[in-house]
């Protein structure tokens, strides 16, 4: 019979185990029917005690099973002072597995869940419970250098797909018992473990309760990456601006925790979330607090100017050359007009063509193999732009404008924060093409109004600028030097 036509085996989640080993084995084999990686192994101890070991091949450490469990019981015999072992309760009472984490469950559903998480299940005849021992061992990627958040100074460690590796990196940075890590399992099918990390005494209790409540209310079949959690708990899905900061760097998460925020770590994902996020977080680089304050302050101003340049330059160019040529210096306007004489399309259409082409090449550069991706995105844009100018399809100033705006968006240190800058260029192009500078002003006012009203998890998105917090607003525009040792500031 075709396996696609077979119905899944449904077992009552609350069905308790039987005292008969044969019945328990039959039920569990029904649950794991057609699961070739789930191993059932019969073991007979001294005194004819029959045990059944169940585990997932590839998820457990077989050396631990052999040396810590099987060898003492079967080959070396029961230690002196311990009578014959004929039940799971005696195994626990006599502390035969003292070096392992063990627990007992009484339902088939709980037993199956723990087996699929990498635990070894031990069933004994005459016992209506399962002894579960943690002997999990997974193949994991080693800690590598961050690939999307490069910095000239600072740690070279990034998160991995292993949750406990990620929590360990945070523990190593923040050495205090006040660093709390609450665990939840989300996803009916995947049972993905996620961790809320925060520092007790620094985090806002009301914000923590809100985040915890939203996480507990998530009702999904599967959670494969931290993006599932982000989309499920953010305030609005219709804002182009990210409401949670995503990062693969443990030092960035630690910095957020020390500022009273909450970190969200997801098993299987090397990307952590920091809640809540502000607009200014998207324009700050990881090494801003590692370099000298004068360099950082200058770089911050450069980022702010280029971020504004990335979103406004194409629309302002359209408005000035189409509706307000008197605002452009005469010699420059004559040069632009001369270059545009052979162009068959209006300026706004030319900009749209080049913008779509630039975005397509950028996306192609990401999806292509790492060795040729950068060549396609950068060289391709130059070659196509030059060919379009020589063919008379696009005027030369348009290539300069679109390229300058695209390169400006690369200055933004958080890659995801560059998305809204690129997206919002297109409605601003439409408004400037229809209404000129008046349309550009309308678009910018709408964007600012949206940012002012955006309050992820009750925290204003533009704080500490709007609303103004004098004690913190200085840090947005300046990176003030730290207090010198042995010297107090007046």
Per-residue pLDDT tens digits for 20-29? 889 999 999 9
Q: Which of 258, 228, 10 is nearest to 112 (CA)?
A: 10
Contact of 457 with 262, CB cutoff 8 Å: no
Q: What is the mean pLDDT of residues 313-324?
A: 94
User: 225 with 248: CB under 8 angstroms?
Assistant: no
**pLDDT of 214 above 80:** yes
**pLDDT given at position 88:** 57
Query: Pick the residue with more confidence: 187 or 81?
Result: 187
Tokens of 333: 């306007």
The three-state secondary structure class of 91 is helix
Q: Which of 86-90, 164-168, 343-347, 379-383 has the lowest mean pLDDT?
A: 86-90
CB 11 within 8 A of CB 27: yes
State the pLDDT at residue 291.
87
252 versus 134: the higher-pLDDT residue is 252
pLDDT for residue 1: 43
Please tell me the chain's helix, strand, coil percentages from 3-state DSSP, rounded to the nearest 5. Answer: 50, 10, 40
What pLDDT was estimated at residue 100? 67
pLDDT recorded at residue 137: 80
**Out of 148-162, 168-182, 243-257, 322-336, least confident range:** 148-162
Cβ atoms of residues 424 and 311 within 8 Å: yes
């Amino acid at each position: 019979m075709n396996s696609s036509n077979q119905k899944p085996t449904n077992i009552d989640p609350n069905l308790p185990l039987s005292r008969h080993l044969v019945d328990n084995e039959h039920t569990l084999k029904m649950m794991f029917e057609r699961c070739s990686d789930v191993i059932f192994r019969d073991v007979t101890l001294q005194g004819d005690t029959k045990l059944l070991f169940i585990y997932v091949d590839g998820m457990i450490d077989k050396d631990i099973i052999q040396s810590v469990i099987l060898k003492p019981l079967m080959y070396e015999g029961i230690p002196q002072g311990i009578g014959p072992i004929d039940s799971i309760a005696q195994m626990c009472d006599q502390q035969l597995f003292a070096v392992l984490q063990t627990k007992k469950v009484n339902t088939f559903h709980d037993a199956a869940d723990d087996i699929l998480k990498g635990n070894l299940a031990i069933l004994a005849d005459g016992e209506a419970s399962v002894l579960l021992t943690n002997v999990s061992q997974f193949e994991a990627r080693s800690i590598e250098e961050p690939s999307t958040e490069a910095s000239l100074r600072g740690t070279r460690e990034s998160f991995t797909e292993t949750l406990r590796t990620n929590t360990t990196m945070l523990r190593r940075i923040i050495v205090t018992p006040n660093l709390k890590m609450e665990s939840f399992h989300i996803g009916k099918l995947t049972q993905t473990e996620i961790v809320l990390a925060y520092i007790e005494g620094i985090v806002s209790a009301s914000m923590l309760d809100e985040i915890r409540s939203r996480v507990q209310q998530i009702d999904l079949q599967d959670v494969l990456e931290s993006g599932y959690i982000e989309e499920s708990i953010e305030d609005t899905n219709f804002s182009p601006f990210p409401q949670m900061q995503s990062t693969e760097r443990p030092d960035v998460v630690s910095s957020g925790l020390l500022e009273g925020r909450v970190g969200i770590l997801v098993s299987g994902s090397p990307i952590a979330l920091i809640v809540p996020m502000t607009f200014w977080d998207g324009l700050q680089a990881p090494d801003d607090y590692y370099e000298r304050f004068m360099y950082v302050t200058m770089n911050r101003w450069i980022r702010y100017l280029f971020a504004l340049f990335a979103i406004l330059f194409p629309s302002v160019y359209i408005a000035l050359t189409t509706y307000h040529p008197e605002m452009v210096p005469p010699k420059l306007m004559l040069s632009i007009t001369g270059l545009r004489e052979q162009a068959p399309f209006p300026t706004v259409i030319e900009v749209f063509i080049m913008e779509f082409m630039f975005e397509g090449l950028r996306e192609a550069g990401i999806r292509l193999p790492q060795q040729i991706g950068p060549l396609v995105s950068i060289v391709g844009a130059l070659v196509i732009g030059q060919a379009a100018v020589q063919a008379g399809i696009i005027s030369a100033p348009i290539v300069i404008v679109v390229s300058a705006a695209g390169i400006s968006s690369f200055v933004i240190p958080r890659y995801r924060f560059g998305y809204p800058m690129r997206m919002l260029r297109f409605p601003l192009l439409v408004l400037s093409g229809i209404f000129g500078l008046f349309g550009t002003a309308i678009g910018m006012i709408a964007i600012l109004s949206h940012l002012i009203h955006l309050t992820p998890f009750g925290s204003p998105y533009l704080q500490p600028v709007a609303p103004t917090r004098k004690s913190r607003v200085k840090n947005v525009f300046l990176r003030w030097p730290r207090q010198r040792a042995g010297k107090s500031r007046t």
